[in-house]
Amino acid sequence: MKILVTAFNPFGGEAKNAAEMVLQRLPDRIGDTAICKLSVPTEFEASVRIVEEAIRNEDPNAVLMLGQAAGRAQLTPERVAINVDDARIPDNAGVQLIDRPIFPDAPAAYFSTLPIRPMTAAIQAAGVPAAISNSAGTYVCNHLMYCILDFLREASWVKAGFLHVPITPEQATAENMPSLPIETIEKGVIAALEAIIAADNTDPAAREDAKTEAFVRSILEQHNV
Amino acid sequence: MKILVTAFNPFGGEAKNAAEMVLQRLPDRIGDTAICKLSVPTEFEASVRIVEEAIRNEDPNAVLMLGQAAGRAQLTPERVAINVDDARIPDNAGVQLIDRPIFPDAPAAYFSTLPIRPMTAAIQAAGVPAAISNSAGTYVCNHLMYCILDFLREASWVKAGFLHVPITPEQATAENMPSLPIETIEKGVIAALEAIIAADNTDPAAREDAKTEAFVRSILEQHNV
Amino acid sequence: MKILVTAFNPFGGEAKNAAEMVLQRLPDRIGDTAICKLSVPTEFEASVRIVEEAIRNEDPNAVLMLGQAAGRAQLTPERVAINVDDARIPDNAGVQLIDRPIFPDAPAAYFSTLPIRPMTAAIQAAGVPAAISNSAGTYVCNHLMYCILDFLREASWVKAGFLHVPITPEQATAENMPSLPIETIEKGVIAALEAIIAADNTDPAAREDAKTEAFVRSILEQHNV
Amino acid sequence: MKILVTAFNPFGGEAKNAAEMVLQRLPDRIGDTAICKLSVPTEFEASVRIVEEAIRNEDPNAVLMLGQAAGRAQLTPERVAINVDDARIPDNAGVQLIDRPIFPDAPAAYFSTLPIRPMTAAIQAAGVPAAISNSAGTYVCNHLMYCILDFLREASWVKAGFLHVPITPEQATAENMPSLPIETIEKGVIAALEAIIAADNTDPAAREDAKTEAFVRSILEQHNV
């Protein structure tokens, strides 16, 4: 089994991003599962392109996208991504989008296909504060989550979702904001990954069958059969 | 040099107290300074009696009292203790006091005699969130801080003050509250202790002179001279 | 023009609901527009049935659903309703649903079809705090909003959406929670209604055409044409 | 009976101050009690001078000082003023003081001599959120409260204290901050004034006796008798 974990790089003029810091610390394997790590730019367009390319190259069983949510006290698996970009600040490429649909004719939202309830319970059981979040915001985090779930909408053999993490104490020294050290965040992310692994009960043969079937279906669709 | 560090035990039906947990982890020495550790009950009366006794026995250069403040995101050196008990819940001895002066004819407040600004800067420099707090509340934390500063009001050779710490992630797993792991809190408390040590520039001989002078003065006062 | 405004009755053991209180104060007309007022039970099933029935009977141009959000400081037009029920407390009929899709094969979400950006600007221009919210929660408010948007998915001539309002000062006297008096909330709701009216530029004839077309389409669908 | 009510003018670049707005709306009498209203500059030095002068000229039975506390959701009678200036921003005269005692040899704090518990209960009974606050901050509000209580320390016949009020909805339209309309704040301030009036049970003759006694005492002190 293989899980692709992604994290955004720093944005908004900050030097570090807690999500990227935790990404760099994650092990390369958890049990039998390979952890494939990918840092992505905090850019609407490039982040999606890079994660899609990695999914094509790596063919992972699951994709866990990480982002930093300053102000949150807990690790928060996101329940849903919505089809809108509405940004308070520009992304790292200078793009700022207001109340704009991501894809005009696509669904209003996609639910995470990761097991968010067991992930939340596992993070808490590891002694780390966690709760399900019902909004990933309307900035690049929501954008990436939405686009990847849209990209994978026919690929039932790849689960995907987003997890927001707090900032670290070093980022908050003179700010009255909740924070958790990178070691604590890492413990929570690993617990979440273990919950994803435990929930994956797909027989590898069935997984290959699903991929073949989807491939055939797409060929037929291309030829309007 | 010697510093007495105290911390309250669990209260309000909780199994742990972050202040007591960090106390137990502190080293016995920081450089040349002995760290003398004392756990005290979350009781208005007993806590004061026990800390006063320890001060008499240990003759410390400084007293740093620790308490847990659920809801705070930062380590907060307290600036001031006020002459009032006003409790929302009973203490561990079942005593609940409402709007009652601690000592009817005593000063309205005592300022911490610890270097709270350098302590705050040192905690932040250690990468741990910190800020000066202007209220230690009106429960046992404020009570103990007030009583000990009153007890030491003539003892200029013993500095004393209070530091509130957040709860730990293990205490907050399913709560939407800020928290910091005990290792992070410990790092901050040690930085605060180092700031206390660095600020102590009292010549030991001058310290003994001050004690002798105060002793003579108290004898004279007892004889109404 | 006619707008149907609904509000939930008290829940969670409370005596009043700020949304229902404001509903009762609303005028029967704003300019040429009739305001049709409907109080609904805080129940997953009954609330939807009653609002659908009112839409059938009243044939409004727009539906503004109101709910109370304790803890919010602003009036918050909701952007989106998601296809999930996940309740911390039972509804007034004793039903408590956890992580359950509202309709198993329906879209993950519906966006509000009301002009939420102009509504927010109008509320602010009236001197009342407002912001767009990206989550209506996962309790009866989200449930009703989702179900009514689903019910109206083919009825492009009826706009619908949800607006959360804070609790009132009388509900918060001894609580450290933001609140706004019912007069202030009313001023904001009226400003929101005026923004809905101003945005409605549908020609009545075009509206009738759209209804006829939808009716014919549904007949054809029933006969599998 | 006469009560002097003071309020600060706008500061920090703002156009309005909720405390000053409510001051201007207060009636000139509440029952038999004259309400004497005074707007003061948000300046450490001038505010004290002007309020002291008004106390000398008006000889009030009580002084209620009002200030605006952005971020608070409740009206908060202050329990205590502390002997320190520590400002995040300069005052309106450009003066910024950091960790400086107000008066080097004066008491660490003064408690409000107003009936803060009955005031809080009266505000709540009027349907307005209220709570006792244990910190008036370390800016001009605390400074004025401290200086006036110090000024009146021998004048037992003049009660004095501070009340913080939230910002108004008009000040918070696009901010996620609690607010209360000026009418609601006014209702709470009037309830607080009524509680002050109700608690004043001083016999006018006894009041004159106390003033005479204090005057004689001060003359004797000036002549070192």
If you write DSSP's letter for every residue of B3-17 in order, what string do you get? Answer: EEEEEEPP-TT-S--
More confident of the two residues A216 and D77: D77
Q: What is the CA radius of gyration of chain B?
A: 17
Query: Which candidate in B143, B147, B164, B194 is catalytic?
Result: B164
The residue written with tokens 């500095």 in the block is B159
pLDDT over 70 (residue C167) = yes
pLDDT at C223 over 90: no
pLDDT of the residue at D79? 98
Contact call for B180 and A180, based on CB within 8 A:
yes
Say what the pLDDT of residue B210 is: 87
Tokens of A35: 């952890």
pLDDT for res A92: 95
Question: Alpha-carbon Rg of chain A, whole angstroms?
Answer: 17
Give the model's confidence band at A202: pLDDT under 50 very low, under 70 low, under 90 confident, else very high. Answer: confident
Please determine, for residue B112, whether its predicted confidence score (pLDDT) is greater than 90: yes
Average pLDDT over residues D54-74: 97
- Chain C touched by D171 (CB under 8 Å): no
* Most B-contacting residue of A175, A179, A185 (CB-CB within 10 A), to test interface: A179
Q: Number of residue pairs across A and C with CB atoms under 8 Å?
A: 46
Q: Which conformational region is residue D94 in: left (phi greater than 0), alpha (psi within -120 to 50 degrees), or beta?
A: left
Residue type, A55: I
Of the pLDDT bands very low, low, confident and very high (cuts 50, 70, 90), residue B215 is: confident
- Provide, rounded to the nearest whole percent, the portion of chain C with pLDDT above 90: 86
pLDDT at residue A223, rounded to an integer: 85
| Rounded Cα distance, C166 and C164, in Å | 7
For residues B64-82, give the mean pLDDT: 98
DSSP D100: B
Average pLDDT on A140-152 reads: 98
Given a cut of 80, whether residue D224 has pLDDT beyond it is no
Helix/strand/coil for D23: helix
The span from the CA of B76 to the CA of B123, in Å, is: 10
pLDDT tops 80 at residue C225: no
> Chain C: nearest CA to A70, how far in angstroms?
17
Using a 10 angstrom Cβ sphere, with 0-12 exposed, 13-18 middle and 19 or more buried, the burial of residue B71 is: exposed
pLDDT recorded at residue D222: 84
Distance CA A90, CA A7 (A): 18
What's the gap in Å between the CA of C156 and the closest CA on chain D?
31
Query: CB-side exposure of D133: number of CA atoms within 13 Å?
Result: 25
Buried b (16+ CB within 10 A) or exposed e, A43-72: bbebbbebbeebbeebebbbbbbbbbbbeb
d(CA A54, CA A49): 9
CA dist C184 and C21 (Å) reads 12
What's the mean pLDDT in D95-115? 97
Cross-chain residue pair D99–B117, CB shorter than 8 Å: yes
Q: Give the pLDDT confidence score for residue C207 in this predicted structure.
A: 86
Choose, from A20, A43, A78, A186, the residue flagged as catalytic: A78
Question: Quick one: pLDDT at residue D50?
Answer: 98
Question: How long a stretch of residues is chain D?
Answer: 225
Planar angle of CA A64, A31, A128, nearest 5 degrees:
55
Band (B225; pLDDT cuts 50, 70, 90): low
The number of C-alpha atoms within 13 Å of A151 and in the hemisphere containing its C-beta is 20
CB D41 within 8 A of CB D50: yes
Selected for mutation to probe chain A from C105, C111, C141, C164 (highest A CB count within 10 Å) is C111
Residue C120: pLDDT over 80: yes
* Mean pLDDT value of segment D21-46: 97
C183 and D180 in contact by Cβ < 8 A? no
> Are A and B touching by the rule of 3+ CB pairs within 8 Å?
yes
* Contact criterion met (CB below 8 Å) for D132 and D76: yes
Q: Which of A190-204, B166-180, C153-167 has the lowest mean pLDDT?
A: A190-204
Question: CA of A137 to nearest chain C CA: how many angstroms apart?
Answer: 7
- Asked whether the beta carbons of residue B129 and residue A169 sit closer than 8 angstroms, the reply is yes
**Out of D109, D117, D134, whose CB is closest to B137?**
D134
Active site residue A141: yes
pLDDT category at C168 given cuts 50, 70, 90 is very high
Between β-strands B62-68 and B159-165, what pairing exists: parallel, antiparallel or unpaired? parallel
The share of chain B scoring above pLDDT 70, in percent, equals 100
Q: Is B138 on the interface with D (CB under 8 A)?
A: yes
Q: How confident is the model at residue D13 (pLDDT cuts 50, 70, 90)?
A: confident
| Nearest-angstrom CA–CA distance, D180 and B126 | 40
Q: Which of residues 113-132 of D touch B (CB under 8 A)?
A: 117, 132
Total residues found in chain A within this entry: 225
**Neighbouring C-alpha atoms within 13 Å toward the C-beta of D88:** 6
Which residues contact residue A208 at a Cβ distance below 8 angstroms, ignoring those fewer than 6 apart?
A: none
Cα–Cα distance for residue pair D180/D73, rounded to 1 Å: 8
pLDDT at C219: 87
Give me B168's structure tokens.
């730990």
Phi-psi category of residue B102: left, alpha or beta, with phi > 0 → left and psi -120 to 50 → alpha: alpha
Number of residues that this document lists for chain C: 225
Q: B with D: how many residue pairs have Cβ under 8 Å apart?
A: 46
Residues of C in contact with A110 (CB under 8 A): 108
Could you report the per-residue pLDDT of C18-30, keeping only the tens digit for each? Answer: 999 999 999 999 9
- Note whether B107 contacts D109, CB cutoff 8 Å: yes
Mean pLDDT, rounded, of chain D? 95
Give the chain B residue whose CA is nearest to the CA of A126: B170
Could you tell me which of D42, D32, D75 has the C-alpha nearest to residue D186? D75
Give me the pLDDT at residue B203, please.
82
If you average pLDDT over residues C174-187, what whole number do you get? 97
Strand, coil or helix: D209:
helix
3-state secondary structure B111-123: ECCCCHHHHHHHH
